[in-house]
Amino acid sequence: MIDRLVDYIFPILYKVDANIRHIEETMFDDDMRRTIVNTSLARRDIIALRRIIRPQVAIVHNLEQVERPFIHEGLDVYFGDILDHLQKARDIVEDNAEMIASLADTTDALASHRINEVMRILTVISVIMLPLSLIAGIMGMNLPLPLAGNPVTFWWTLAGMLVISLAMLAYFRHRNWL
């Protein structure tokens, strides 16, 4: 009965392996949220399997090594076989734990890189908007400004703002920030 229970663990382990392979294949897709969820679910499964398998190894090892009056002498071979299967299952779980930890680190690095890309774009937009806001604020004051009465001043201001924006975009592109 114990042997059948231990053997029942292996299909579960193979399913976890398949989930990890699926995470590896889809890690570089655009749906980062789905990858994070899948990684977290696989990590949860591995933790649950660890909690199940680790204590059983010690118990079966104890049953194999110590003579008990209610266990026949010929059963130590069976307990040895069960122990081998449990140790194999434990090794698979440990390998999966290492793999999922590496995948989680890679996922975190990818997410950080994407966040940095978004932050860079937002920073460039805000830096371009800053001088334009300054010019608009100065021109919108209720003070007599030079050329305030000239009807062409509005168009010259717009042209100046456009030149400043294009110059900043060219500078950012030259620095490979865009």
Distances from the Cα of 101 to the Cα of 28, 94, 171, angstroms: 16, 11, 41
C-alpha radius of gyration, the chain, whole number: 33
Do residues 31 and 48 share a domain? yes
Q: 88 is in which domain, residue-wise?
A: 2-114
Do residues 28 and 108 share a domain? yes
Given a contact cutoff of 8 angstroms between Cβ atoms, the answer to whether 57 and 90 are in contact is yes
Instruction: Specify the pLDDT at position 160.
Output: 93
Q: What's the number of CA atoms in the CB half-sphere (13 Å) around residue 41?
A: 14
Do residues 108 and 134 share a domain? no
What the block records as the tokens of 79 is 């307990």
pLDDT in tens, the chain (178 residues): 777 888 888 999 999 999 999 999 988 887 888 999 999 999 999 999 999 888 888 887 777 766 666 666 666 677 778 888 899 999 999 999 999 999 999 999 988 998 999 999 999 999 999 999 998 888 888 777 777 778 888 888 899 999 999 999 999 999 888 7
Question: How far does Cα 103 stand from its chain's mean position?
Answer: 7
Instruction: Specify the pLDDT at position 74.
Output: 65
CATH of the domain at 153: 1.20.58
Alpha helices in the chain (DSSP H): 2-26, 32-65, 76-139, 153-174
Do residues 12 and 96 share a domain? yes
Do residues 64 and 152 share a domain? no
Q: Model's pTM, two decimal places? A: 0.69
Instruction: Specify the pLDDT at position 71.
Output: 63
Instruction: Specify the pLDDT at position 129.
Output: 93
Instruction: Specify the pLDDT at position 144.
Output: 79
Do residues 110 and 125 share a domain? no
Helix axes 76-139, 32-65, angle to 10 degrees: 160
| 147 phi-psi bin (left φ>0, alpha ψ -120 to 50, beta other) | left
Instruction: Specify the pLDDT at position 47.
Output: 94
Q: Which of 114, 137, 160 is the last residue of a domain?
A: 114
What the block records as the tokens of 109 is 């690095």
Report the number of distinct structural domains present in the chain: 2
Do residues 58 and 24 share a domain? yes
